[in-house]
């Protein structure tokens, strides 16, 4: 039996290169204008909600305006990007994602409850936090629970549903191919920037502790948004944290 010395063309041919990942289109200027305008309007409405007596007609109106800004602004910006505003990604282990979200919310709530106990060492900060909680506490608890839950979910639609994807597609996040190859620290830049913007908007409340809480919460839910690609996990964590603060902190701070 004769063996040919000629190389097998199939074996000699180089393996086909993987297809290049096309760069995403840059975020249009109108999207940035929409996001910036909504963020400024939301900050003004947030200031209004804290200035109005809780439970009053002005409080209801300010809360409705705030919800509309976050929901409409988030939906329109997401549609212009475009990016889906989905609650879950069925291609992921949804049960695990939601379990982690519940755990993260409970951990955050525990951290801030312990922090509330430690505020006795800082009378100025304690007085600031107690003033905010006392003002909100003048409304029926059921009303505050509903408005807090709705506002938290609406914030996630805007900040994690629309703003964060826009930041990820900007120069902060690089191209899609670069994001896949980037180190975790580089991929975290849009999350950090989004959390800082969230904190700046929260500064409209006039409460330094709420600003700190917003940045920390923004980092956690921003990471969840990036990992899960959906909004259910950030919303669950946000709601557990905010509702726990509403119910647990007033007795601790004596408000």
For 59-74, write each residue's pLDDT tens digit. Answer: 889 999 999 999 999 9
Provide mean pLDDT across the span 229-234. Answer: 97
Number of domains the chain contains = 1
Burial class (CB in 10 A: 0-12, 13-18, 19+), 175: middle
**Residue (of 255, 32, 223, 235) closest to 152 by Cα position:** 235
Decide: 27 and 170 in contact? Cβ < 8 Å: yes
Residue 14 covered by a domain? no
DSSP classification of residue 203 = G
Residue 174 covered by a domain? yes
- Beta-strand ranges (E) seen in 15-116 are none
Decide: 219 and 75 in contact? Cβ < 8 Å: no
Residue 2 covered by a domain? no
Residue 195 covered by a domain? yes
Residue 147 covered by a domain? yes
Does residue 107 surpass a pLDDT of 90? Answer: yes
Its sign, for the CA torsion 119, 122, 128, 130, is positive
What range does the domain containing 139 cover?
A: 27-253
For 196-215, write each residue's pLDDT tens digit. Answer: 999 999 999 988 889 999 99
Residue 4 covered by a domain? no
Residue 244 covered by a domain? yes
**Nearest 5 degrees, angle CA 138-CA 59-CA 211?**
80
């Amino acid at each position: 039996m004769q063996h040919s010395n000629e190389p097998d063309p199939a074996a000699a041919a180089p393996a086909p290169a993987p297809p290049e990942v096309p760069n995403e289109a840059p975020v249009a200027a109108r999207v940035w204008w929409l996001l910036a305008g909504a963020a400024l309007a939301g900050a003004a409405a947030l200031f209004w909600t804290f200035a109005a007596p809780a439970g009053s007609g002005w409080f209801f109106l300010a809360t409705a305006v705030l919800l509309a800004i976050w929901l409409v602004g988030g939906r329109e910006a997401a549609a212009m990007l475009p990016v889906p505003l989905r609650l879950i990604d069925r291609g992921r282990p949804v049960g695990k994602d939601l379990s982690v979200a519940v755990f993260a919310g409970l951990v955050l709530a525990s951290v801030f409850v312990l922090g509330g106990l430690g505020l006795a060492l800082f009378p100025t900060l304690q007085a600031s936090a107690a003033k905010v909680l006392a003002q909100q506490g003048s409304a029926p608890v059921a009303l505050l629970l509903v408005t807090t839950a709705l506002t938290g979910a609406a914030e996630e639609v805007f900040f994690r549903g629309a703003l964060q994807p826009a930041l990820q597609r900007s120069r902060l996040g690089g191209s899609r191919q670069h994001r896949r190859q980037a180190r975790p620290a580089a991929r975290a830049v849009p999350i950090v920037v989004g959390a800082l913007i969230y904190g700046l908007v929260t500064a409209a409340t006039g409460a330094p502790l709420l600003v700190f809480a917003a940045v920390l919460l923004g980092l956690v839910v921003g990471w969840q948004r990036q990992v899960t690609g959906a909004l259910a996990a950030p919303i669950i964590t946000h709601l557990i944290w905010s509702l726990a603060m509403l119910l647990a902190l007033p007795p601790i701070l004596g408000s």
